[in-house]
Amino acid sequence: MRCRHCRDPLVSTFVDLGSSPPSNAYLTADRLAGPETWYPLRVMVCDNCRLVQTEDFAAAEELFDAEYAYFSGFSRSWVAHCERYASDMTDRFGLDTGSQVVEVASNDGTLLRLFHKRGMRCTGIEPTASTASAARGLGLHVLQEFLTRTSADRMVSEGLVADLLVANNVVAHVPDIDDFVDACGRLLAPGGVATLEFPHLMRLVAEGQFDTIYHEHFSYLSLTVICRIAESVGLAVLDVEEIPTHGGSLRVFLQRAETGVHPPCMAVSMLLSTEAEAGMDGPDFYAGFQERADRIKDDLLRFLLDARRDGRTVVGYGAAAKGNTLLNYAGVRPDLLRFVVDQNPAKQGRYLPGSRIPIVPEDSLIAARPDHILILPWNLREEVEERLAYVRDWGATFATAIPELQVW
């Protein structure tokens, strides 16, 4: 396999997590009697450009199908993040009712509707039928397709040009990253701005966040790599912000290199220096991540096995994709984790891919009165602990596995 960006051969392994089904391929009861498709989950690092990337086994069309079950509106903290984003972008770039906002991977419309409520012209681009339908139910205009250079050129010919292009938490999900970033640039008005949000590889490595790795994430990114990709397609990074979402992410601002009107901010050069000081352009930074992942896996298994031996019940909270990576790598099954609670009705009554642990509503948690609740989306730890504060009444404790096992 060759690097998705520079096309050099990939020879260095970043981490090998065995194999697993796609992390969002939740099972219905009638599918439990049948087989699942498992793909290797090995991540490579390019020795030339330092893009960290999965090996090519699953196509995007297989991962983001009609039954895709991630709906962004079910996380209170994520909704609050979207509200801050809409307010900040409106103020910073002077957006008004004459502005055109385009969101790529608009999901269920949680973010885009906030610009729509402000009277702006809004278009969503979303390939999954389930979430596109939900967004249309909010009165949003949604194009159900993947964004590519070809589709972007067609959209521009039909009059779609973005003053603000929102591509948050999507750039890691595309197999042809150069094509995607170029497509975003083609949709921009001459003075328009695009934002990309993605988990920051520097934080992922520092905190052992290997559960952020799954088949739907084709790339794992630093600012250094994004700058290289942007430059290669005629875009320039004008600003960057470090934000807390997904355990530590970057928000990168892009504009056309030739026609952009915004001066670059010092934050870009400062973070590039920080990444260089961390060694992200050399091989040592990427060594040892496998050992960190294995230690986290072993500690989780020890906790679950000890609980079962002592007669204590453990259940999970949050049927998130990252939890599926963790559980499948550790080989956890319902004998160790009885069920997982999730607020999303689209997931309730289904089963986690691979582990086949049942997904249930919160009522089941109250009825079972477990001894421990393992919070799988550890980045939402505070939100979950606040929501489930009542479990303290029967003496239950919370646990997270990453960045290290904690029980409290």
Name the CA dihedral angle for 88, 244, 197, 341, rounded to a multiple of 10 degrees.
-110
Q: What is the pLDDT of residues 68-127, one digit of tens each?
A: 445 555 577 788 999 999 999 999 999 999 999 999 999 999 999 999 999 999 999 999
pLDDT the model gives residue 78 = 82
Is residue 15 domain-resident? no
Q: Is 103 buried (19+), middle (13-18) or exposed (0-12) by CB count in 10 A?
A: buried
What domain range is 136 assigned to? 72-286
User: What mean pLDDT is predicted for residues 8-21?
Assistant: 97
DSSP 8-state class, residue 373? E
User: Which amino acid is residue 206, in one-letter code?
Assistant: A
Residue 146 reports pLDDT greater than 90: yes
Is residue 24 domain-resident? no
User: What mean pLDDT is predicted for residues 347-363?
Assistant: 97
Last residue of a domain, one of 269, 286, 303: 286
In a shared domain, residues 215 and 345: no
Stated as kind and residue range, the H or E segment containing 103 is strand 100-104
Query: Looking at the DSSP assignment, which residues form a beta bridge with residue 273?
Result: none
Q: Is 353 buried (19+), middle (13-18) or exposed (0-12) by CB count in 10 A?
A: buried
Residue 154 reports pLDDT greater than 60: yes
Neighbours of 408 (CB within 10 A): 8
Which band of pLDDT confidence, cut at 50, 70 and 90, is reported for residue 246? confident
- For the four alpha carbons of 40, 43, 47 and 52, in that order, the dihedral sign comes to positive
Number of domains in the chain: 2
Is residue 296 domain-resident? yes
pLDDT the model gives residue 59 = 59
Is residue 153 domain-resident? yes
In a shared domain, residues 374 and 228: no
Mean residue pLDDT across the chain: 94
In a shared domain, residues 181 and 281: yes
pLDDT the model gives residue 346 = 87
pLDDT the model gives residue 70 = 54
Last residue of a domain, one of 234, 269, 286: 286
In a shared domain, residues 340 and 258: no
Q: What is the pLDDT of residues 19-77, one digit of tens each?
A: 999 998 999 999 999 999 999 999 999 999 999 999 876 655 565 555 544 555 557 77
Contact 266, 249 (CB under 8 A): no
Q: What is the pLDDT of residues 255-312, one digit of tens each?
A: 999 999 999 999 999 999 999 999 999 999 999 999 999 999 999 999 999 999 999 9
Residue 73 tokens, joined = 């509106």
Nearest C-alpha neighbor of 123 from the set 145, 100, 107, 146: 100
Which band of pLDDT confidence, cut at 50, 70 and 90, is reported for residue 202? very high
In a shared domain, residues 277 and 304: no
In a shared domain, residues 81 and 178: yes
The larger pLDDT score, comparing residue 62 to residue 397, is at 397
Q: What is the CATH number of the domain that holds 206?
A: 3.40.50.150
In a shared domain, residues 319 and 271: no
Pairing of strands 235-243, 12-20: unpaired
Question: Three-state SS for 326?
Answer: helix
In a shared domain, residues 203 and 301: no
DSSP 8-state class, residue 286? G
Task: Round to whole Å and give the CA distance between 280 and 258.
Answer: 29
Is residue 172 domain-resident? yes
Is residue 368 domain-resident? yes
Which band of pLDDT confidence, cut at 50, 70 and 90, is reported for residue 130? confident
In a shared domain, residues 312 and 267: no
Contact 260, 191 (CB under 8 A): yes
In a shared domain, residues 281 and 297: no
In a shared domain, residues 267 and 311: no
Q: What is the CATH number of the domain that holds 379?
A: 3.40.50.720
Last residue of a domain, one of 253, 286, 319: 286
Is residue 266 domain-resident? yes
Stated as kind and residue range, the H or E segment containing 318 is none
Is residue 16 domain-resident? no
pLDDT the model gives residue 24 = 87
Percent of the chain scored above 70 by pLDDT?
A: 95
pLDDT the model gives residue 342 = 96
In a shared domain, residues 147 and 280: yes
- E strands, 116-180, in order: 121-125, 141-143, 162-168
pLDDT the model gives residue 178 = 97
